[in-house]
Structure 1
Amino acid sequence: MALTLEAVLGLATVSFLWGVTNPLMKKGAQGIERIKSHSITSQFLNDVVFLVRNFKYMIPFLINQCGSLIYVVVIQQTDLSLTVVVANSLTFAITALTGIFLGEKKVHRNTYLGIILILLGTTVCCVDKMDSSS
C-alpha cells in the first residue's frame, strides 16, 4: 500500500493524541490506589466508578479513544508494518515530552537522545515507504 501525506498526518495525529493523553490519564487517575474493597469484583467496580466519575481522567481518556478511532481508519489505508511502528514510536516520544512538560520527573540526557533517534528512525521508515511506493 502506498504511504500518502494523509496517512502520515493521520499517524502523527494519532501519536499526538495518544502521547499527550497518556500522562494526563496517569495524573487523572491519582487516588485510585486508595480505593480498597473486600473482593476482586467489588474492587474492579469501585475502580471503574472512580475513573468514570473523575473528569480529570475521563476527558483525556475520551480524547485518547478518538485517537484510536483515527488509528483504525489509518490502519486500513497503510501498510500495517509501518503503521504500528510509526504510531507506537512517536507516541512514546510524545508521551516522554509531555511528561517532561508536566514535570513528572527529572529527565536524563539519554531520554532526549532516544527521542531524537525515534524521530530519525520514523522518518527513515516513512521516506523508505514513500520511495518504494512511487
Structure 2
Amino acid sequence: MARTIIFSSIGSCKYLMPFLLNQCGSLLYYLTLASTDLTLAVPICNSLAIIFTLIVGKALGEDIGGKRAVAGMVLTITGISLCITSSVSKT
C-alpha cells in the first residue's frame, strides 16, 4: 500500500514539475560555481536564493512581510550589484 502511494506521487505532475525545476536550479548553481570566482559566485547565489524564494512565495499568494521584505530585497540587489561592479572593475 505504501509503495503504491509513493510511486503514484512520483509520477504526478504536481510533484514532478517542482522537482525538475529544483533540479535545474541546482544544476545552474553548480555550473555557476564551477565557472566563476567563488568570492563572487557564492554570495550572489545565496542572496538570489532568498530573492527568488520571496518572489515565488508572493506569486503563490503567501504573505512575504510587506515593506520590510521589499526593503530587504532592494538592499540585497544593491549589494549584489556592488559585488558585480567591483569584480568587473578589477578585470
TM-score bracket relative to the smaller structure = 0.7 to 0.9
- Alignment partner of 2:61 out of 99, 103, 115: 103
Separation (CA, whole Å) in 2 of partners of 1:66 and 1:104: 24
Q: Which amino acid aligns with 2:69?
A: T
Superposition deviation, residue 68 in structure 1: 1.5
Q: Deviations over 1:45-92 (max 9, x none)?
A: 799647524321221111221122222222111111211110111121
Q: Is the 8 A contact 2:57 2:64 kept in 1?
A: no
TM-score (norm 1): 0.57
Superposition deviation, residue 108 in structure 1: 2.2
Task: Point out where structure 1 has 5 or more consecutive residues left out of the alignment.
Answer: 1-41
Q: Which runs of 4+ in 1 moved over 6 A?
A: none
Aligned position for 2:79? 121
Task: Point out where structure 2 has 5 or more consecutive residues left out of the alignment.
Answer: none
Describe the shift of the 1:128–1:53 C-alpha distance in structure 2 as closer, same or farther (beyond 3 A): same
1:74 counterpart = 2:32: yes
Provide the identity percentage: 32
Aligned position for 2:22? 64
Separation (CA, whole Å) in 2 of partners of 1:119 and 1:48: 40
Superposition deviation, residue 124 in structure 1: 0.4
Q: RCO greater where, 1 or 2, for CA within 8 Å and sep 6 or more? A: 1
Describe the shift of the 1:111–1:47 C-alpha distance in structure 2 as closer, same or farther (beyond 3 A): farther
Separation (CA, whole Å) in 1 of partners of 2:5 and 2:38: 34
Describe the shift of the 1:47–1:121 C-alpha distance in structure 2 as closer, same or farther (beyond 3 A): farther
Compute the RMSD of aligned alpha carbons.
Answer: 2.3
